[in-house]
Amino acid sequence: MNLEKGLENWSSVKKYTDEEISQETLEKIFDLTTNAPTAFNLQPYRFLVLDSEEAKEKAVSSAVPVNGWMKYADKIVVLVAFEDLDRNAHQVHRKKIGKEDLDEEGAENRMKMFADYKTRDKEFLTGWLTRNTMIPATFFMLACQNYGIGSCPVRGFSQEQLTEKLDLEENERPMLLIPIGYPKEESREWRRDGKDIYETK
C-alpha cells in the first residue's frame, strides 16, 4: 500500500464480505503494528482477536445497540491496556542498557517514576493508557488497510462487562474494539480540508 493513497482513501468499514482473514495475514499485520511508538517504549498493551461466533458475541453484547453491526465482521479485535503499565519495563531497560543507552541508575529512577504513575488517580491513568494505546490502534488499522482489510474503531461498549465476559486479568482494561474484515462496500465520509485543521504561529 502506498501510504499517501491509503490515507487519502481511508474509510471506516462496517460492511464485510464472507472472505476470512488468514492467520498468515494476521501475523503480518501485527508484525507491522508492533512498531508503534509508546512512552518510554513500554508497549503497555496487547490485542485479543475474537474469531469464533461465541467470542464475538461477548463483544457485541457489551456494546451499545447502535454498534450491533459488529457481528458481521470476520473478527473483532480488542485492544487491551495494561494498568500495570511497567509490565515490560525490565525487558525494555535490559535492551537499552545492553546498547549503553541507559545505565542502571537511570533504569532504577525510571522504575520509581512508573511506580508513582500507578499510584495516581484514575483520571491520570486513563489518560496515560489512552495516549499509549491509540497510536498502536492507528498502526493496526493502517496495517489492515495495507492488506486490503477494512476496520472501524469502536468505543461504545461497557469496559466492565467486556472485562468480565472475556475474563481479562485484574490489571487489564479493554480500551477499543476494532471489527475487521474484507470490505463489502466503502463510502468516504466528509472530511474538512487540510488547510482548515491547522494554523502556523
pLDDT for res 74: 98
> In terms of residue numbers, what domain contains 60?
3-84+122-184
* Predicted confidence (pLDDT) at residue 43 exceeds the cutoff of 80: yes
- In order, the DSSP letters of 5-67 are HHHHT------B-SPPPPHHHHHHHHHHHTT---GGG---EEEEEE-SHHHHHHHHTTB-GGG
Residue 90 belongs to a domain: no
Q: Which of 19, 3, 8 lies closest to 142 in space, CA to CA?
A: 3
Q: Kindly list the strands in the beta sheet with 75-82, ordered across the sheet, starting from the edge strand earlier in the chain.
A: 45-50, 75-82, 172-181, 150-151
Residue 199 belongs to a domain: no
Question: For residue 35, what is the domain's CATH number?
Answer: 3.40.109.10
Grid-cell match 474484515, residue found: 181
Structure confidence at residue 10 as a pLDDT band (50, 70, 90)? confident
**Span 105-120, pLDDT tens digits:** 999 999 999 999 999 9
Residue 77 belongs to a domain: yes
* Count of domains forming the chain: 1
Residue 28 belongs to a domain: yes
Structure confidence at residue 96 as a pLDDT band (50, 70, 90)? confident
Residue 101 belongs to a domain: no
The stretch 187-192 carries a mean pLDDT of 79
**Span 63-95, pLDDT tens digits:** 999 999 999 999 999 999 999 999 999 999 998
Residue 112 belongs to a domain: no
CA distance 99 to 173: 33
Residue 98 belongs to a domain: no
Question: 72: which DSSP letter?
Answer: G
Round the average pLDDT of the chain to a whole number and report it. Answer: 94
Q: Which of 86, 81, 83, 84 lies closest to 176 in space, CA to CA?
A: 81
Residue 89 belongs to a domain: no
CA distance 146 to 6: 8
pLDDT for res 141: 97
CA distance 59 to 148: 24
Count of other CB atoms within 10 angstroms of residue 38: 17
**Span 167-189, pLDDT tens digits:** 999 999 999 999 999 999 767 77
pLDDT for res 2: 82
**Span 135-174, pLDDT tens digits:** 999 999 999 999 999 999 999 999 999 999 999 999 999 9
